[in-house]
Chains A and B, each alone.
Chain A
């Protein structure tokens, strides 16, 4: 580096006095930094070809320095994106009716990859579109999370299906032990008012009439399965549906 500067500086035409002053004082020039670096590198390569080659290799390797960090970032990003995307609902195409949500597309061959992954992770075997439709509710009509410490009144009119069942699960999809050792109701065994309207009481303690027993675990889900439902996976096909209302009563 100092090779050129330590020699007595020849006064050449076109070299300003400022440059000369800088060189003699070992001050690296402010301008054309890269040019002078280039020049020095070229000179070094001329004098020590082997070392220059080694240096070049080292510099090329040092350019790859961010590789492990980038690979790690890619790994973390990909895994995090997958984990996050599978935490929510199973895929796209949700149909919402009041408090109820259905994913008709998970029952057919046009299921999207997110829906497929969520279903596989949960270990579920959802209804095929030729079998029926499942509606899930985790909140009441006012948007409050379902809690088995409360009583609920589920009321509605006849559904366009051959048969439907209503059952309560915990958030992992398991049935919970309860007082009556019953875990659901079917449309067949239901007491109805004139015109086919029904009202179901969901509570931990026994209720007269249609009673859906709830387990001890507080948070729960309701699943309504309409077998041979008169609707396809098109969202517009649900217009005639009158999903049951879920009203919260007293809480203990």
Chain B
């Protein structure tokens, strides 16, 4: 009798084993799926909360970090401005020039928060930025056009740069935003830092035809 009972439970367990494995595998798959989807979908992300509120190709000054305002974990000494891009509308051109009083940096972030580029004013010539954000397809198209136009004129066209100070940034995703950061050395210096960000330009370029 005992023997039959253990046989019965062994049978039951063996019957359920594939289901247990399937549940485990499904759990792992779901974990990875939610993990990868979450940064793009969560309404709390910086892109959804801040960038999506501003139109593409316009610079928006963010509120200063103070109790009750500003994005979480932002530096009270940093003045931030952002510009959203959507490369399906065309490449985005960023121009900015640092004044000498406020350390200045630029970062380019995708909608899921990945930072694909970041640099400060000491890493660029004369503290000025000239960045063109493109997709791979747009980059290929403009390369092809340039090759056709200037094949005989300028045979030594090195890939990546069109003119001297332009940085062409190939973005793996179409949506994202650029963040400009000017640091003030004193908390009372916010207005001057905000003025430093006034020179930032951000515009959608018409796709090359």
A interface vs B, CB < 8 Å? 66-67, 69-71, 73-79, 81-82, 85-86, 107-109, 111, 113-114, 116-117, 119-132, 134, 162-163, 165, 167, 169, 172-177, 182-184, 186, 188-189, 215, 223, 225, 227-228
Contact = CB atoms under 8 A, between A and B. Distances in A.
Interface of B: 16, 19-20, 22-31, 33-36, 38-40, 42, 44-46, 49, 65-68, 70-77, 80, 103, 105, 107, 109, 112-120, 122-123, 179, 181, 183, 185-187
A227 B183 CA distance: 9
B26 A119 contact: no
Q: Report which residue of B40, B70, B114 has the largest number of chain A beta carbons within 10 angstroms of its beta carbon.
A: B114
A131 B179 CA distance: 11
Contact of A125 (B19, B68, B179): B179
B38 A184 contact: no
Contacts of B49: 123
B203 to A, nearest CB: 22
A196 B24 CA distance: 57
Interface of chain A, helix or strand or loop or mixed? mixed
The 4 A-B residue pairs with the shortest CB-CB distance, nearest first, are A128-B118, A78-B30, A77-B27, A74-B26
A229 to B, nearest CB: 10
Interface of B is mostly: mixed
Given A176-B67, A182-B187, A121 B42 contact: yes
A120 B112 contact: yes
Contacts, number: 197
Given A114-B35, A121-B44, A189 B185 contact: yes
A122 B114 CA distance: 14
A125 B46 contact: yes
A130 B104 CA distance: 11
A251 B161 CA distance: 60
Contacts of B183: 163, 165, 227
Residue of A77, A85, A86, A113 most packed against chain B (CB within 10 A):
A77
A77 to B, nearest CB: 3
A186 B78 CA distance: 11
Nearest to A65: B19
B115 A188 contact: no
A113 B37 CA distance: 10
A227 B113 contact: no
Contacts of B44: 120-123
Nearest to B177: A125
Contact of B26 (A66, A70, A85, A189): A70
B75 A167 contact: yes
A79 B28 CA distance: 9
Most chain B CB neighbours (cut-off 10 Å) among A114, A124, A223? A124
Contacts of A122: 44, 72-73
A120 B39 contact: yes
Nearest to A78: B30
